[in-house]
């Protein structure tokens, strides 16, 4: 009998098959890596947007309340917000800018639902001073002073590298801004401030400093910081209600 012929692949066919498989695996790995980078970049950008949204939401809510006081039939702005020696507050003054800090003063009746910068209400009438500041480590903090008692600074947000303010000043008896001053120039005009520009600089999560190991999506071609700004109107100073 004639022996059956052997069946199988030649060495060349095996090498071609392996090469094709390697190309397919390489393409799959490249696609997976690109998708991971894309997810990482999108996640970092979403976190930056969330930080920006939360920071400005808290600061806007507090700044809008500047100068608010309860029961105007019994209180006036000067009796509700009396003069303070240290730090120096004039009677009726609702905003005080410092060295990259901002303090905002207002009252709550204990039943009006007014919040401080920590998101807390009071069950009794109190006067709050909300002070926003940076701790030098990228943390945006707020300190609440309640009826003269200074509280402990609480971190609201991380990744904030710089903070500054501009103040819209209106002539006495008017609510229309005619001058924009920085915090050092506004010293004699605090009672005439009707709007505040908040300028925050956030760390760019897509930036990798030269000489450091970049994670997915990072590059030292990116700007290191992301500056953002918002103007806030002091509702009680322009005759509006919040």
What are 66-82's pLDDT values in tens digits? 999 988 888 888 888 99
Structure confidence at residue 3 (pLDDT): 60
Residue 201 lies in a domain: yes
| Within-domain flag for 9 | no
> What distances in angstroms separate CA 95 from CA 30, 51, 66, 79, 179, one per listed residue?
55, 24, 7, 16, 16
Say if 30 falls within a structural domain. no
| Parent domain of 115 | 42-237
Within-domain flag for 82: yes
| Residue 10, in any domain of the structure | no
The per-residue pLDDT for range 96-114, each reduced to its tens digit, is 998 889 999 999 998 899 9
Per-residue tokens: 124: 């009794």
Q: Is residue 1 over pLDDT 50?
A: yes
Q: Is the pLDDT of residue 241 over 50?
A: no
Number of structural domains (the chain) is: 1
- Residues 205-236 have pLDDT tens digits of 877 766 666 666 667 778 888 899 999 999 87
In this prediction, residue 22 has a pLDDT band, given cuts at 50, 70 and 90, of confident
Domain membership of residue 210 (yes or no) is yes
* Better-predicted residue by pLDDT, 46 or 56: 56
Tens-digit pLDDT profile for residues 175-210: 788 899 998 888 888 888 999 999 999 988 877 766
pLDDT of 26 reads: 76
- Average pLDDT in the chain: 85
Decide if 7 is inside a domain: no
For the question of whether the overall pTM of this predicted structure is more than 0.85, the answer is: no
The answer as to whether 85 is a domain residue is yes
């Amino acid at each position: 009998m004639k022996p059956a012929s052997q069946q199988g692949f030649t060495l060349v066919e095996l090498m071609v098959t392996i090469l094709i498989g390697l190309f397919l695996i390489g393409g799959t790995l490249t696609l997976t890596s690109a998708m991971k980078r894309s997810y990482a970049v999108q996640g970092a950008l979403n976190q930056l947007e969330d930080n920006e949204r939360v920071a400005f939401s808290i600061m806007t809510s507090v700044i809008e309340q500047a100068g608010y006081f309860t029961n105007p039939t019994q209180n006036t702005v000067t009796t509700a917000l009396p003069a303070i020696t240290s730090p120096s507050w004039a009677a009726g003054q609702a905003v005080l800018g410092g060295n990259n800090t901002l303090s905002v003063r207002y009252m709550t009746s204990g039943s009006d639902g007014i919040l401080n910068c920590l998101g807390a209400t009071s069950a009794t009438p109190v006067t709050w001073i909300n002070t926003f500041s940076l701790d030098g480590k990228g943390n945006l903090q707020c300190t609440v002073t309640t009826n003269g008692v200074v509280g402990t600074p609480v971190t609201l947000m991380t990744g904030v590298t710089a903070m500054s303010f501009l103040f819209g000043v209106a002539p006495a008896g008017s609510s229309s801004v005619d001058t924009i001053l920085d915090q050092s120039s506004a010293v004699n005009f605090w009672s005439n401030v009707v709007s505040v520009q908040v300028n925050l600089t956030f760390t760019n999560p897509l930036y990798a400093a030269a000489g450091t190991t970049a994670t997915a999506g990072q590059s030292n071609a990116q700007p290191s910081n992301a500056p953002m700004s918002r103007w806030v109107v002091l509702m009680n100073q322009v005759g509006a209600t919040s």
